[in-house]
Chain A
Amino acid sequence: ETGVTQTPRHLVMGMTNKKSLKCEQHLGHNAMYWYKQSAKKPLELMFVYNFKEQTENNSVPSRFSPECPNSSHLFLHLHTLQPEDSALYLCASSQDAATGANVLTFGAGSRLTVL
C-alpha cells in the first residue's frame, strides 16, 4: 500500500462504453497525475493537476477526460475508446508539481482492455 489507491484494478470495456477510473491519495499531496504505461514503452504523461488546477494536458485525445474535484481525488473518464488505448493507467501524487526534487508516489494502476 503506497498511499495512492486506484480503482478498479482491472477494466474491460467495449468501444462504445463510458467508464471512469478513480484515484485517491491519503498523503496530503497537492499534485496528482495520470500516466499511461504500455509494454516496453516509456511512461506517457497524460494530465497533471497542481493545487486542483490542470497544469498539463499532453495532447491527450478528448475521449479521455480528467476530473479533479479536490486535492485528494482524481478521475479519468473514458468514452468511445479505441483498442490501442488498452494499457495500464497509473495515477501518481507528489507534494508539488513545480519543484525539482519532486518524488512521485504511484498507485498500482488500472489495467484497461478495450475490445
Chain B
Amino acid sequence: GQNIDQPTEMTATEGAIVQINCTYQTSGFNGLFWYQQHAGEAPTFLSYNVLDGLEEKGRFSSFLSRSKGYSYLLLKELQMKDSASYLCAVRDSNYQLIWGAGTKLIIKP
C-alpha cells in the first residue's frame, strides 16, 4: 500500500530551528508538497520538490531524496506564528496525491 509517515507532534523554541521529516512509500513519484495549516484555517501551500536537493524560500527550506523516499521541511528563526500543522503529500504515478497525517508544531517562548 501507499504510505506517508511524519511525526505526530513536535515542540521547538522561538528563534530556534526545527526539521520536520517525511518518509514515503508510493507507487511512483511525481513530486512532493508541503502545506501549512493553522488551527481552524485552510491548508496553504509552502513548497514543491520534484528533483533531489534543497529548495529554499525565506525562512523555510524543503529537501528531497527520491532514492531514500525522504523529505524534510526546515524552519529557521522560529516565530510564534509558525505554530501550525505541517502536511506532507506525494503525487504518485497516477497523479494522485497521497497525504500524511500531518505534524503539529508547537512553538514555545
Q: Within residues 78 to 109 of chain B, which ones have a CB less than 8 A from any CB in chain A?
A: 87, 89, 91, 95-102
Contact stretch, chosen from B11-19, B37-45, B52-60, B64-72 = B37-45
Which one of A101, A107, A108 lies within 8 Å of B40 (CB-CB)? A108
A109 at the binding interface (Cβ < 8 Å): yes
CB neighbours (8 Å) of B95 from chain A are: 97-100, 102
How many inter-chain residue pairs (CB < 8 Å) link A and B? 51
Let me know if A43 and B87 touch, CB within 8 A.
yes
Let me know if A106 and B4 touch, CB within 8 A.
no
Give the residue among A90, A104, A107 with the most B Cβ atoms within 10 A: A104
Let me know if A106 and B44 touch, CB within 8 A.
yes
Nearest CB on B from A13, distance (A): 20
A112 at the binding interface (Cβ < 8 Å): no
Let me know if B45 and A43 touch, CB within 8 A.
no
Among residues of A, the one whose C-beta sits closest to the C-beta of B101 is: A42
Q: How many residues of chain B get a CB closer than 8 Å to chain A's CBs?
A: 25
> What CA separation (Å) do A114 and B25 show in the bound complex?
34
* Size bracket, chain A contacts: 20 to 34
Q: With A42-B102, A106-B35, A109-B42 given, can you name 8 additional A-B contacts, CB distance below 8 Å?
A: A40-B101, A45-B97, A98-B95, A99-B95, A103-B48, A104-B35, A105-B42, A108-B42
- A sample of 30 inter-chain contacts (CB < 8 A) reads A2-B44, A40-B102, A41-B101, A42-B4, A42-B99, A42-B100, A42-B101, A42-B102, A43-B87, A45-B96, A45-B97, A90-B42, A90-B43, A97-B95, A98-B95, A100-B91, A101-B31, A102-B91, A102-B95, A103-B48, A104-B35, A104-B45, A104-B97, A105-B42, A105-B45, A106-B42, A106-B43, A107-B42, A108-B42, A109-B42
